[in-house]
Structure formats: structure tokens, C-alpha cells
Structure 1
Amino acid sequence: MTDDHVYMTLAEGHDDGDARWAFGTGFEDPLHGVDTTIPGGVDRADLTATCLALGDDALISAQRLAEWTTRAPELEEDVALANIGLDLLGQARLLYTRAGHADGTGRGEDAYAYFRDPAAFRNVRLAELPNGDFAFSVVRLLVLSTWRLAHFQRLTTTADPVLSAIAVKGVKELTYHRQWAADWTLRLGDGTEESHRRTRTALRQVAPYLGELFSAYDVREEVLAILRQVLDAAGLPLPAWQPLPGSGRDGDHTEHLAPLLAELQSVARAHPEGTW
């Protein structure tokens, strides 16, 4: 099976006009014309928690992807990883803004990104792990984008019109992220002996964190089916795993989140009233 076959198979069912759709969804405001009033019957606490969790996943993932700038194995992939990170950063900004509306505080995106301590973040722990080698980052992106896409597809019909609009925009972006990661997983797994070995190692490192993903949203079978499709084509096994105790959704993080946030937040905290 060729990498094009897997790459295109994952794109089936998305009427984007271009199966190898690039970054972003254009320059239109995804919330243009959307009623931002929170509908009656929508639980504000649940909406806030959902927006914060998904926003934190996106922000922390974007920060890790940004660390690949100037370090990726090819210039084209350097640009690709940076742009995937920008897509996720855009999602985080929208989600944080909605959280500030839903929780009644009116806080903006900067307050959530820059002025919360690690224990207040609700991202899954897989997102905060150090990048490792290229194979690890590729496998992590495959897993996270497949999982996030499955959840966003469900959120397109959620009762909150703003979260639904954010999800519609995000589905297009995440479809490409998943395709990019699937393509590289196939190249590495079906490449040299060394690239195959490193990708198998990456899968073993990522696998223990799958349990946390599947406990958060009911997308387990859908996500595993996509992962197995890609891994089977790449000649890679999906390792068995024992879920790790704790959850980033409860503020239980690895030792890697604090230094990541220290770097991310340093300028904003040093100059809290600064504007550029």
C-alpha cells in the first residue's frame, strides 16, 4: 500500500475541493454572523470546562510544535509544523474567548494563556511531553489530531452556536493535521530500518497516554480504527498499554508542563500591561 493511498483514504468524505488541503480556513471570521448569546439550556460550567480543556490542549500542542522551528529535517516540514501550530493557536484563542464569556468573568485569551499556573491547566498530558525525536512528534501528532478531529466532528452539532462554529473551522484544519501526520508515519514506518525502529519506540512511548484520551470523550473505537489503518500500512503494531494514573483534565500534570509554561508566559508576566 502506498503512502498516497493511506493519505487519500483518510481524506475521503471531506468535500474540501482539495484532498491535500493546506493550512487554515481562509481569512473569514469563523464567528461572522454567529449569535454569541449562550442558549438557554446550555450549562455554562460545562461549556466553560469544555472550552478550557480543548483550548489548553491546543495551546500546549502549539507551543511544542513551535519548538521544531529551524529544527525539522526538511525546510518544507519546518514550515508545515509551524503552520499546524498556528492553526492550533487560533483554535485556542477562540476557545479561551468563549470560556471567558461562558464563565461570566469576561476574561480574554491572554488571561487564560499567560496568567494561570500549571495546576490550573486542563490539557491532556500527552500534549506537554517533550518533543523527543521527529518520530515521536509525528506519532504524537497523529494520535492527538485523530482524537481531536473525532471530538470536533461531534461538536459541530453542539447546542452552543459559538463552540459549533469553532468546531466547523477546526475540523478542516485537523483533517489536514491528521493527513500530514499519517503521511509521515507511513514514510518513517515503511522507510529505513532506523526510521522504523524509532517510530516503534515512539509508539511505545505514546501508548500509555491513550487511556487518558479515551476517558475524556467517547471516541475510542473511531480513533483506534484510524490509527490501526495507518499503522498497518506502515508495518507498525499498535502496542498494548496500561493507562497511567491521573489525568491532566484534573490538573494532574507531568514535570514537563511547568518549564514549558515558564517559557511561554515569561514576557507577558514580566510586562503584564505591555502592548505591541
Structure 2
Amino acid sequence: MDATTTYVLRLADTCLIHSQRLSEWCGHAPVLEEDLALSNIALDLLGQARALLTHAGRLEGAGRDEDRLAFLREERDYRNVVLAELPNAVASPSDGSGGRDFALTTLRNAALAIWLELLYDRLQASADAELAAIAAKSLKEVRYHRQHSSDWVVRLGDGTDDSRARMQAALAVLWPYFGELFAAEGVDGVGPAWRELEPEWRARWATLMQEATLALPQDSAMQPRGIDGVHSEHMGHLLATMQYLQRAYPGGVW
């Protein structure tokens, strides 16, 4: 697979897997309005993933459409960041949370929305006209995602003692995975190296943490490599759910 196709797939898979995790909140969010908001954000990300996967399939030239790329690859063929695949929980499902932690989801949403906003903004200038068009449309969506999630980060971080403690605990879990957002190389004329996003991302994140009265953890030496197909133990379980119908009924249609 050439560098351009891999570059597009890393973004496509990150949107796809992030959407899948968010969809797990449908019917389980703490308030009805947020149930609808998380479901809509998940649908936005799924739409971005569909456009990007379709484009990646054309670039690859192997006859794979968006469905085959989404549902019929093996775990090591996915190129999403590990952050997107982590489960929606800090603690064990046995604690009565049902395996969902709103603090973790809120922080992850904010981190990825800021990152996507920065990346899509730059991809509008891509020499790949299709990728530039996808970026321009997606940028409008992720700006809302960033605003919505950031509002929740501030509300919970600067809220009660309990909400702040939950947010700080979630941040400690997620922090080691943020570095992968800046690990992919760029492709000349297609898109920037992700490390170019790091200074502005960190500046925006620091401002958000200050507003939320949350303390930044110390940087970790851990180096997740989901973008190279090396995933966490959670990815296989996610794919078993996401791919079930297509694998049980290959080529099935409604």
C-alpha cells in the first residue's frame, strides 16, 4: 500500500473507530440531550469515515469499497490511533457503570476534535482535490464537536469535587495515548506530518485544562502504534461487534 493511501486510511480509520466507540453511548448517556448529541457526533464521524474510506479504496485500486474496508479487514490492517479504540470506561464494568465513563468520553472527544480541526484545516490545501473537499466539509462538523466537548470538559472539571476527580482520573488514563496524534509522517502535496499539529494542539489543550482547573499529567514514554497496525487488547473485541453482521452474512443487503 502506498504512502498516500496509508495516510488517508489513518485518518479514515480513526474517524471510523472513534464513531464506533461513541455509538455505544446511544441510549446510555446521562441526559437525553447528550444522548442525542453523542449519537449525532458519532454519525458525523461515520460520514467522514465513509468519504475517506471510499477515497482510500479508489487510491488503492484493488476494488475495495467503503464497506469492504470497514468490515472485512483484519485487526492489523486498521490504521487508527489507539486512543480511538480504548473502551468508554476508566473502571471495570463491575462497578455498576455499565462499562461507560462520561468523563473519559468527554476528554477523548475534546482531544480528538481539536486534533481533527487542526488537521482538516490544513488538508483543505491538499493537492488531492477529493481529500481537500472532504476536509472542507468535515471541518464544519468538527468545529462543533470541539466546542461541544470543550464545554463539557470545563463544566465537569470546574464543577463539583466528584466531577473534577473523575475528570482528573480519566485524564491520567488517556494522557499516555495522546502522543500518537503527532506520530504519522506527511505526504508531499497530500497532507502534513502530524507532528506539525503538536504545538498548536498542546497550546489549545493547555488553555482548556486551565479553564477546567485540571492538572496536566507528566508526559509518558509509552509509544502507541495503532497507526502501524499494532493495537491494544480492546481492538479485537470492538471489531468482533462492528464486523459481526457483515461476516455472518457476507455481501448481505437490506
Normalised to the residue count of structure 1, the TM-score between the two structures is: 0.83
Query: Is 1:247 equivalent to 2:215 in the alignment?
Result: no
1:50, CA displacement in angstroms? Answer: 1.6
Q: For residues 203-261 of structure 1, what are the alpha-carbon distances to aligned partners after superposition, in whole Å with 9 as ceiling and x for unaligned?
A: 11111011111222021111011111111011112212213134101111000000100
Aligned to 2:173: 205
Is 1:195 matched up with 2:195? Answer: no
Matched residue type, 2:220 = Q
Q: 1:171 aligns with which of 130, 136, 139?
A: 139
Mapped partners of 1:243, 1:206: distance in 2: 13
Matched to 1:59, the amino acid is L
**Matched residue SS, 2:112:** helix
Structure-2 separation of matches of 1:244 and 1:144: 19
Deviation at 1:148, TM superposition (A): 1.4
1:211 and 1:243 in contact (8 A); partners too: no
The superposition leaves residues 48-90 of structure 1 with CA deviations (integer Å, 9 ceiling, x where unpaired) of 1121111100110001000001111100000000000000000
Take 1:268 and 1:150, find their aligned partners in 2: how far apart are those partners?
A: 34
Selected match of 1:232 from 202, 210, 214: 210
Show the counterpart of 1:56: 13
The alignment partner of 1:116 has SS state of coil
2:23 — aligned with what? Answer: 66
Q: How many aligned positions are there?
A: 233
Change over 3 Å in CA distance of 1:130–1:63 after alignment to 2: same
SS of 2:183's equivalent?
helix
Counterpart AA for 1:251: G
Corresponding residue number in structure 2 for 1:162:
130
Paired residue type of 2:105: S
Alignment partners' CA distance in 1, 2:76 and 2:62: 20
Is 1:274 the counterpart of 2:242? The answer is no
Cα drift, residue 46 of structure 1: 2.5
Q: Distance in 2 between matches of 1:248 and 1:238?
A: 24
Correspondence 1:94 to 2:51: yes
Instruction: Determine if contact 1:147/1:219 at 8 Å carries over to the other structure.
Output: yes
In structure 1, the partner of 2:187 is: none
User: Does structure 1 residue 180 correspond to structure 2 residue 132?
Assistant: no
Matched, 1:126 2:104: no
1:135 aligned partner: 103
Q: Which runs of 4+ in 1 moved over 3 A?
A: none
Q: Which runs of 5+ in 1 are unaligned?
A: 1-43
SS of residue in 1 equivalent to 2:2: helix
Correspondence for 1:5: none
Contact 1:212–1:243 (8 Å) recurs in 2: no
Counterpart code for 2:242? L
2:219 aligns to what SS in structure 1?
coil
The code of the aligned residue for 2:127 comes to: A
Distance 2:222 2:85 in 1: 15
